[in-house]
Structures are given as structure tokens and as C-alpha cells.
Structure 1
């Protein structure tokens, strides 16, 4: 990464995350096909819902004939963390129009958010609409194409876990976390390690008592609050 915030730089910065989208997108397409949905339905889900984990949940709930309201609520709950991410990004686009802010929020993903937070370390704590919208657009198109490809391959691949496709997204987030740590010169490495350890403990303990989808939102709030408190108290 560098300090530039143009379209060409956005393409270069986003390319490393593309492989994660391809892996998990193909996995979703295969799962959707195995659940009995044709490639067109899988394609429309990726275009209209565009939420990786929520799409997996939607497929399973539709296959089990769950009520529509239950599916809508589950999708909202899974993606409620996007409200926090959007609020975090909003101050960097105060000078942009409402329509541009809506576009960024609509196509925002965990990966593009992490990419944007990492970019701040190189760009003097600035983000541009051109850079972020390009990153979002590449992610969106890659997800759509990959999920359609997975649906078409569904007749030939019945077990995506054997190919390690289910680990693609996890591997990408590990890479993004590593890049964030080594590039953030303003935050102590010890502080970062403490917050990461705290987050891991919360997740480990929380999974015993709290549903995974709700746990993501809860750990995000507690982890951020914990980081702010110990930073001002000890760092």
C-alpha cells in the first residue's frame, strides 16, 4: 500500500482480498446448488443480498422452509455489525454527497472495511470516495461471479471442505489483521496484542453461552471499548 487514493491504487490494494472472495463465493455457490437452488437463484441472492454469512444462513433456512420473517430477522442480526462499521467510516466522507455515502455503506463488507482501516495508516488518516468505491465494486463483482461459478460447478464438487474452500475467508482475515498490525505505527504493538488476546478470550467464552451471530456484534462493542479504556489508561 501507499498514500495514493485513486482508482488505479484501489485496484492494486484490493487484489489480495479477491482470492478470499473467490474461495468463499465458490463455496457458497456449491452449497446453494446442493440445497436445490438453480444458478439463477444463487446469482440473484448474491446480487440482492450480498452478505456472505447471511447468504449461507438464508440458503439453509429456505431449504428448511423457515418463515420469511425469521429469515429477514436472521439476516439483519448477522449483518447488524455493518451499522458500527458504517458509523466508523462516516466521518471520513463528511464532504461527500448523501448518495455517495449510501453507495459506500450499501456495498461495504468486512474485508473492504478492514482494507480501509489499514489504508488510513498510509494515507495520512484520509479516505476518498474513488478509492473506497472501487474497492467495494471489485469485491461486489468478484463475489457475484464467484458464487455463480460455484453454482455451475455444484454438479461436480459436492464437498467444498475437502478443497479447503471453507478456510479461504479465515485466511484472508488473518492476512488483513497482520497487515494492520505491522502498518499501524501510531498504536503500540503490545496494546494490539492485548486487544487481540482479549477478543479471542471473549469469543472462546462467549460461544458457550451466546449464539454466534449475536456474539460478533457483542464482541465488537466490548473489544473496542476495552481497547479505548486501556489505551488511555496505560498507553
Structure 2
């Protein structure tokens, strides 16, 4: 939780700094890979501007470069991003004080990373308004688009493989965001259980369905443990 000392409200700009630092190498890797996969700098940059979903963008350039049809592409990205329904549901309880006309715009900027930071801040403070969301979301969005553009430009000058050793960046950032939210034995247990369940479901369900199912079961277990603790 980071408060704006001048206004007494949480500073979305300061809260966005971990995301910005994580987005720089990942966005660069995406832009580089996009150009190396045969797309123009403009196409790669436009995908960041209008889609703004890291995993979906990596999938999109991989599938499109291999000649996958549009229907398959749309269905794949839809399944991968189903987790955003969970994010929106979780954040909706904190949007009640936000004017309705802001919500459709703000919803576009919900990602794994912005959700993780926002939910951690919001659970620990009620000193926020729409400025917090705009600052957090726009700073993260700007960092992603800028890194993508720089990566794409760099891709036009770098010869050979697009693999520049940045494969670790995405999972490393997810681990860091998870650790930010873990406090207490219950959250540790649910996190480990959900992770192991997701790994086990890889061998049962195709694509990224395992992540959705493990998330739902893990969330259900968290609710059950909360109620069990309240009733005990």
C-alpha cells in the first residue's frame, strides 16, 4: 500500500513501478519476437495498443506466423484470457465508489499484473478513488507499449535468433506478484495447492484450461477456509 502524501490517497504511479520494471524486459522480448516472426513494427506496436495482453500477444504472433486461421486464434485467446472474468469479479467490489462511466474504460487495462497490485493495495486501504486506477493502469499500459515498440525497432537491427535470454522475465514477474499477496498460512496453502493442481491438470485438459480450473477450485477452497475459520 502506497499513499500519496499530498492528497492522502493511494498513489497509483508509485504502485505501478514494480509492474513497469517487469514490463520493460517482457515487452521488449515481445516486440523483438514479433518482428523476427515476420510482422512489421507497426503491426507489433498496434497489437500492444489495442490488445494489451502479454500472453495473448505472444500466442497471437506465434499462431499467425504459423498460418493459423482467425477462428482458431480468437478461440485460443478467449480461453487463455478467461481468467480475466475472475479478476473483474474480484475488483468489482472496489469499483462501487467509482463513477460508472469510468468503469468500461478502466476494465480494458486489467491484466495479471495490474490486478495483483491493485487487489493488494485495495485490501489494505480504502483511501482511493478513480485517480488511483488511472495512474496504476495508464503507467503500466504506457510501459508495455513503449517496451514493445523499442523491442520491435531493435528487432529490425538484430540478426539471427529472437531468443535473447529474456524467457525468464514473465514467470519471474508472476512469482514476484504472487509473493506480494501471500500473508498467512491460509494463503500459502491455497497458493501451493492451486499451483500443484494446475500442474496436475496439464495432463488432463488441453491448452490453458488447467489454469482456469485450478483458479476456480483454489478460490473456492479459500472461501471455504474463511467460512470454516469464522464458524470455528
Tell whether the structures are fold-level matches, with TM greater than 0.5: yes
Structure-2 residue corresponding to 1:50: 52
Find the aligned partners of 1:157 and 1:12 in 2 and give their Cα distance.
37
Which residue does the alignment assign to 1:146?
A: 147
Match in the other structure for 2:22: 20
Q: 1:90 to 1:39 in 2, by over 3 A?
A: same
Unaligned runs of 5+ in 2: none
What is the TM-score with the length of structure 1 in the denominator?
0.88
CA distance in 2, matches of 1:43, 1:131: 26
Corresponding residue of 1:172:
173
Q: What are the equivalent positions in structure 2 for 1:1-235 lying under 5 Å apart?
A: 1-4=1-4, 9-124=11-126, 127-154=128-155, 155-156=157-158, 158-159=160-161, 161-163=163-165, 165-182=166-183, 189-234=184-229
SS in 2 for 1:66: coil
TM-score (norm 2): 0.89
Question: Is the contact made by 1:6 and 1:131 (CA closer than 8 Å) also made in structure 2?
Answer: no
Structure 1 runs of 4+ aligned residues shifted over 4 Å read 3-8, 157-162
5+ unaligned residues in a row in structure 1: which ranges? 183-188
Shift of the 160–234 alpha-carbon distance from structure 1 to 2, 3 Å rule, reads farther
Contact kept? 1:30, 1:158, Cα under 8 Å: no
Q: How many equivalent pairs are there?
A: 227
Look up the SS of the partner of 1:92 in the other structure. coil
